Each structure stands twice: as C-alpha cells, then as structure tokens.
C-alpha cells in the first residue's frame, strides 16, 4: 500500500470529492489517481503535495507535519480511526453552530481560523513533534514520537526532547558524539541513570550513582572512567535519559 496514496484518499473522502473531480483539477486521469490511492502506482512527493494542496491542505499544518514524516511514521489505520472520530466531533460542533445566532456563528468561524486537514489535526493526538537540542539548547532537528494516553514515555509531550551528545565523554556508556538521548523531566538524582545536568558551560550527560541522601557520584567514560563527587544541593538536574538513538 502507498501511504501517500492513502493520505490523498483520506483527504479526498473527508472533503466529499470524487476521484474524477480531483483528477481533473490536477491535470491527471481519474484512473491514475485511483491507482495511486490503491498503491499500484507510485506518486512523487511534489505531485502528492500539489494534489493535497489543491484540495485545501494548508501550509500552516504542513510546517508541523511534513508528508515525509507522516509517510514514514503513521499507522494509517489508527489515523483513519482518529479521523472518523474527529469527523463525528466536527459534525456535532457544526450542528451546534447552525443553531446559534448569526453573530455567534461569525465569531466562532473567526476563532477557529484555518484548521487544515482533519487527518493531520487527528495526528496531533497520536504523534508529537519532539525537538532535538544541542549542548546550548539550540534546536537542530526533530523526531516524531507516538503519544500514548496523552504522554510520551510517561511524560507530558511538551516536556520531552532529544539531547544531542556533544562529545565522547559517555563513550563507555555507549553514547557517542552526535547520538540522540531522549530526555524526560527530572529534578532529583536517580541511582544508576543517565541524567542531563546543567553546568556553567552548558548541559552534559552523566551517569549518576547515589552515595547517600546528600552526595552523588557523577561518572563520565571516554578513554577511562572518571568520577566526581558532588553535593545534591549543588547539583542541577534537568532531565533523565530514557532512550538512545544512534546512527550506524
């Protein structure tokens, strides 16, 4: 199956358009469009974008979820279920708006603005655009992660991010320069965990070993293992590493 074909079919169906209407508007045959939707024809990303935009896909929404991201990540059966639920919700809201005075209808339309595609709106509940930060917390990229029960790795989605290892200080712990560590919020040391620590020169990863309630051992391991004892009161922990992503 073609994921881009599925996305085109979802958008076309949502807007109540026939394959013939969409094909004519984009200068392609109805047979070709249906074959794309069925996955028997491969469509280029640029042409898929043009077709989706011709049906009203908004640039604002594309900025958050690119077609490449979605095609590589989304379980479209889940997306379809989410879309159907979203359609039902929108239908109920539409019925309510129809019953309001005219002035309220206008205000409601202005407040809602351009919402873009329902299937993309629905994805906000199942996918999160997680930023990648370097050592000085400058965003250098992003990944899409699944949202489960409103959380990513058990944390609030907007509090989770990737930290790019700036050096090989943690090589002995299998974290090399450029590797990505998924970080969730944490303020207290966790024994045996890889934690992200704020220092005067930036943020760095360290293995934490609790000595007692007042002191911890911070370990780095490049050519050899080096340790530093630090008071818990002086330690500024900003997060805990829960996942490692590395390039092969």
Domains within the chain, CATH numbers bracketed: 3-123 (1.10.260.40), 128-245 (2.10.109.10)
Tell whether pTM > 0.85.
no
- Is the model's pLDDT at 136 over the cut of 70? yes
Percent of the chain whose predicted confidence (pLDDT) is above 90 = 42
Is 114 strand, coil or helix? coil
pLDDT digits (tens, 9 = 90+) for 173-221: 999 999 999 999 998 999 999 999 998 888 999 999 999 889 999 999 9
**pLDDT-derived band at 83, boundaries 50, 70, 90:** low
Q: Helical H runs in the chain?
A: 3-14, 19-26, 30-38, 45-54, 59-64, 67-73, 76-98, 102-112, 118-123
What is the average per-residue pLDDT within 14-30? 90
- Is the model's pLDDT at 163 over the cut of 80? yes
Contacts of 51 (CB under 8 A, 6+ apart): 8, 22, 26, 33, 43
pLDDT digits (tens, 9 = 90+) for 87-111: 565 556 556 555 555 544 444 444 4
> Distance (Å, rounded) from C-alpha 45 to C-alpha 37?
14
Average pLDDT, the chain: 79
Say what the pLDDT of residue 95 is.
61
58-67, 127-136, 205-214: which has the minimum mean pLDDT?
58-67
Say what the pLDDT of residue 70 is.
52
Say what the pLDDT of residue 190 is.
92
Most confident option among 60-74, 87-101, 135-149: 135-149
Q: How many CB atoms lie within 10 A of CB 207?
A: 20
């Amino acid at each position: 199956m073609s994921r881009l074909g599925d996305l085109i079919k979802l958008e076309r169906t949502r807007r109540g358009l026939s394959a013939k209407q969409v094909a004519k508007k984009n200068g392609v045959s109805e047979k070709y469009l249906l074959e794309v939707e069925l996955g028997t024809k491969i469509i280029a990303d640029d042409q898929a974008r043009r077709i989706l935009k011709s049906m009203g896909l908004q640039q604002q929404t594309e900025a958050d979820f690119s077609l490449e991201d979605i095609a590589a990540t989304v379980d479209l059966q889940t997306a379809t279920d989410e879309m159907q639920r979203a359609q039902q919700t929108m239908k109920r809201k539409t019925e309510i708006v129809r019953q309001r005075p005219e002035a309220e209808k206008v205000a409601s339309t202005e407040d809602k603005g351009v919402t873009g595609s329902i299937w993309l709106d629905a994805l906000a509940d199942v996918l999160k655009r997680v930023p990648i930060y370097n050592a000085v917390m400058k965003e250098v990229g992003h990944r899409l992660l699944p949202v489960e029960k409103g959380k990513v790795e058990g944390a609030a989605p907007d509090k989770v991010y990737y930290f790019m290892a700036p050096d090989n200080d943690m090589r002995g712990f299998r974290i090399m320069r450029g590797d990505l560590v998924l970080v969730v919020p944490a303020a207290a040391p966790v024994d045996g965990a890889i934690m992200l620590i704020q220092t005067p020169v930036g943020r760095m990863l360290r293995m934490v070993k609790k000595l007692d309630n007042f002191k911890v051992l911070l370990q780095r391991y490049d050519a050899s293992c080096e340790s530093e004892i630090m008071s818990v009161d002086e330690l500024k922990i900003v997060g805990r590493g829960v996942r490692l992503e590395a390039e092969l």
